[in-house]
Each structure stands twice: as C-alpha cells, then as structure tokens.
C-alpha cells in the first residue's frame, strides 16, 4: 500500500502542476461553438459577443459561486490526476457563468435543453439501461466512451456506478441558487448509495469523505468530465463535462488507492455549509 507520506507527496505534485485555465482553453474545448477572442470579448460562431471579465476582481468565493464571470469560472486550477482521497482546498469548476452555459446548451426553464438530449446505454453488459445527456459538443459520445470503459472494470466497481442517480434535471444548486450542470444536460450522478455529499454529513460537511475508486475518476477525466470529489464542498457522485479545465496531458490516472477515506476538511466558506 502507498504510505500516507507518498500519497501526500503525489497529491502535492499534481496540485503544483495544475494551472488555471485560460480563455484559449475555452476555444480548445468547444471548437464547434466558439470562434475566437477579441480583448475581453468571447466570440461565438453565430457572431454573439460575450464579456468575459465583469470588472469585479474583489468578489468573495461566495459571490463568485452565485454570480461568477466567465473568467471566474476558469480561475481555480483543477488538479486532474491528483490523489483521489485527499481533502480538496477549494472548488475547481463549481463556479459557472449562467449566460455562458445557457448560450452553450440552452435554458432548461425555457425548454431548450431537453430536445438536445441523446441516449447512452450505461454499462452495456453490466447494467444496460439507457440514460440521456446533451448531444451538444459531443457530450453524449464522450459519455458513451466512458460507459464502455467503465463496463470493462472489475465487477467490484459496478456497485459505485449503477444504478446512476440521474443526468438531466432542470434544477438549481441547493446552496448557490444557480443552475446545476444537470440543468444543462451535461452531468451525471453515479450511485448515491456509495457516494458522499458535503451537506449529508452530520457536521454540515466539515469532514471530507470519499469511497469512489480512483480508476473511475481517471476514466471520466480522460474524457473531459471533472469530478465533484475534487471540491471542498464535495459531491463524490457528480461528474460534469468541463473539458476547458482539463489539459489533455493532465487527464492521467488518479494516484491514490481506492480505500474509503474520511478527513476533517477546513472549509473556505462557512456560509455555504
């Protein structure tokens, strides 16, 4: 087994390597939707121009979660490949600019997301039921590839994956009031019976707990999905399509062993508990 010292060293190395994403990463991640950058403006292929920086550099973490700009949502490095059982220090990818994602995937409240959903057979040989996720940006194809790779894992891993808890749901995030990535049809929650969520913890989320094996996390990250287990407000069942936060070379196998872990985690925001 890896020693705690080695795991911490590996985690520290991966975290040190991680860098904040840039607007250029948006162009790399979403080439079918985005055409270019002009100063502070993000240019969409239909000619729409969208401001990236809202001119409010001193926003608190809570304010960014509730009203983040496009640059805010890129600002926290996502540590792909870091140990999957170390308590995170912040919330990389949890900031989402609603205007950006409404433009990308549609406004679910206006009925714009559901028509773009496509079927994916989840774990073809081990579960075999159909789920639905957005077809925008080929997210459905990425999830189909993930499904096939997860299906090939040892049978012991199946319990973490099936039945999944859901994909598209038009709803808000409980503590921020902002649209969930599920509302844009670009997220999946795996089996809640073996997952942990910060609001479920008896102490209000102060203890980081994860039971999801690192090989599952690594497969999702290789296909552009970030993991809610890398958030201080942890949500270990949750994966969402955010390829702009994942450098192609960074989506490496997670480094920790798969034993369940619980840590006391100092929160960066007490008002969000």
pTM for the predicted model, two decimal places = 0.85
SS3 13: helix
SS3 257: coil
CA–CA distance, 243 with 80 (Å, rounded to integer): 11
> Can you tell me which residue has the tokens 């089996």?
191
Quote the DSSP letter at residue 47: S
Helices (H) and strands (E) in the chain, counts: 7, 10
pLDDT of residue 69: 97
pLDDT tens sequence across 145-154? 999 999 999 9
CA–CA distance, 34 with 42 (Å, rounded to integer): 8
pLDDT tens sequence across 164-198? 999 999 998 877 778 999 999 999 999 999 999 98
């Amino acid at each position: 087994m890896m020693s705690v010292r080695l795991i911490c060293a590996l985690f520290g190395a991966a975290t040190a390597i991680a860098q904040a994403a840039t607007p250029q990463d948006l162009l790399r991640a979403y080439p079918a939707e985005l055409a270019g950058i002009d100063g502070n403006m993000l240019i969409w292929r239909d000619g729409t121009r969208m401001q990236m920086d809202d001119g409010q550099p001193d926003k608190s973490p809570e304010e960014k979660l509730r009203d983040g700009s496009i640059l805010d949502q890129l600002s926290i490095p996502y540590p792909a490949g870091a140990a999957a059982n170390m308590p995170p220090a912040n919330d990389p990818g949890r900031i989402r600019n609603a205007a950006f994602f409404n433009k990308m995937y549609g406004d679910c409240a206006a009925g714009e997301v559901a028509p773009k959903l496509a079927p994916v057979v989840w774990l073809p040989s081990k579960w075999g039921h159909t789920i639905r996720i957005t077809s925008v940006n080929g997210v459905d194809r990425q999830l189909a590839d993930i499904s096939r790779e997860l299906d090939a894992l040892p049978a012991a891993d199946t319990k973490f994956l099936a039945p999944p808890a859901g994909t598209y749901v038009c709803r808000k995030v409980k503590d921020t009031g902002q649209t969930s990535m599920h509302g844009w049809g670009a997220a999946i929650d795996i089996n809640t019976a073996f997952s942990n969520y910060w609001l479920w913890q008896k102490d209000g989320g102060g203890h980081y707990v994860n039971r999801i094996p690192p090989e599952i996390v690594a497969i999702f990250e290789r296909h552009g999905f970030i993991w809610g287990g890398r958030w201080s407000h942890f949500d270990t069942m949750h994966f969402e399509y955010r390829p702009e936060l994942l450098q192609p070379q960074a989506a490496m196998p997670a480094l920790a062993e798969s034993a369940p872990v619980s840590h006391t985690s100092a929160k960066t925001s007490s008002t969000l508990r």
